[in-house]
Amino acid sequence: MPAEVDGRIRQVAEWLRESAATVVLTGAGISTESGIPDFRGPNGLWTRNPGAEKAATLQNYLADRELRIRTWRGRAEGGLWTDAEPNAGHFALAELERKGKLELLVTQNIDSLHLKAGNSLGRMVEIHGNLREYVCMGCGERGPIERVLERVRAGEDDPPCRRCGGILKSATISFGQNLVAEDYARSERAAARCELFLAIGTSLTVYPVAYLPEVALRNGARLVIINAQETPYDELAHAVIREPIGEVLPAIVALV
């Protein structure tokens, strides 16, 4: 690794050792090394297929039964990277938690790879939800998504809620759908209290989550960005590293 990058790695590790409260925000970029494409990068899902972004809007999902049928069929057949495994970046953040240096991990990802790597739900906010569960858009009932997938495999193409007959969807936050208020409030409180904020693999362009680094900076925290592409916060950051996350994070955590 170039000497300049090595110097930044050592500096970030020193800040981590000194920090009494560190918040980490992760985006799709940390999962690309696990074979999951990001959304807005040069080869991102929505960069190559703008129609896919439209299909991810709540209004379209609720209004279009054929879209729901295609979505459930795809998931029942093993779509959405259900076989993906955590990579070195995920494992490094789990190790950071084990070392007692992670106050809160806020992830925009719905892939559960942080959980698989060993991070605990007690110190994690899945701000955009997850694919492990389903939710009824009518009564709010939740449960393991496998229950719905079993119904699809048994012949139901658009399974309704068994409690109220409402529309079921994965427990993810779609475009046009509000975040869970307490999840965002918890993330904002942690950002306001932290001494160090790491933004990893995120474009920092999706709001309101992209406000979190601003909250941290406004309250005196240092900001570190580890991302392949430029972000709107680069000029405000105390350190920016563009090397592969799966190489950089383990190197940093090893020095903590």
Backbone phi, then psi, for 124, in 5-degree steps? -135, 140
Query: Which pLDDT value is given to residue 60?
Result: 92
Asked if 156 and 195 sit in the same domain, the reply is no
What residue spans of 105-211 are helical by DSSP H?
113-117, 145-153, 181-193
Please confirm, yes or no, whether 128 is among the known catalytic residues: yes
What pLDDT digit, counting tens, does each position of 126-167 carry? 999 999 999 999 999 999 999 999 999 999 999 999 999 999
State the pLDDT confidence band at 2, using cuts at 50, 70 and 90.
confident
- pLDDT reading at 251 higher than 80: yes
Residues 60 and 163 in one domain: yes
* pLDDT score for 36: 86
Same domain, 190 and 230: yes
Average pLDDT, rounded, for the chain: 92
Considering the domain architecture, whether residues 65 and 189 belong to the same structural domain is answered as no
pLDDT of residue 45: 57
pLDDT of 249 over the 70 cut: yes
| pLDDT of the residue at 82 | 63
Q: HSE-up of 28 (CA within 13 Å, CB side)?
A: 19
**Residues in a beta bridge with 57:** 175
Q: Do 60 and 137 fall into the same domain?
A: yes
Residue 117 belongs to domain with CATH number: 3.40.50.1220
pLDDT of 124 > 90? The answer is yes
Shared-domain flag, residues 161 and 95: no
Work out the number of other CB atoms within 10 angstroms of the CB of residue 33: 17
For residues 136 and 99, membership in a common domain is answered with no
Residue 231, pLDDT above cutoff 90: yes
Q: Domains in the chain: how many in total?
A: 2
Q: Tell whether 121 and 134 lie within a shared domain.
A: no
Residue 231 domain boundaries = 1-36+85-128+178-256
On whether both 117 and 240 belong to a single domain, the answer is yes
Min mean pLDDT across 1-10, 101-110, 203-212, 243-252 is at: 1-10
My answer on whether 51 and 100 are in the same domain is no
Same domain, residue pair 133 and 156: yes
Domain termination residue (choose one: 150, 172, 194): 172
**Catalytic choice (90, 114, 128, 238):** 128
**Rounded to the nearest 10 degrees, what angle do helices 245-254 and 3-18 cross at?**
50
Are 73 and 142 members of one domain?
yes
Any idea what the CATH number is for the domain that residue 149 is in?
3.30.1600.10
Residue 54, Cβ neighbours under 10 Å: how many? 13
> pLDDT by residue (tens digit) across 77-96?
876 556 789 999 999 999 99
Which domain-ending residue is among 144, 172, 200? 172
Q: Which of 145, 172, 199 represents a domain boundary (last residue)? A: 172
Q: What is the reported pLDDT for 15?
A: 98
pLDDT value at residue 250: 98
Could you report the per-residue pLDDT of 168-186, keeping only the tens digit for each? Answer: 999 999 988 999 999 999 9
Digit-coded pLDDT (tens) for 31-69: 999 988 766 555 555 555 555 666 688 999 999 999 999
Helices 145-153 and 65-76: angle between axes, nearest 10 degrees: 100
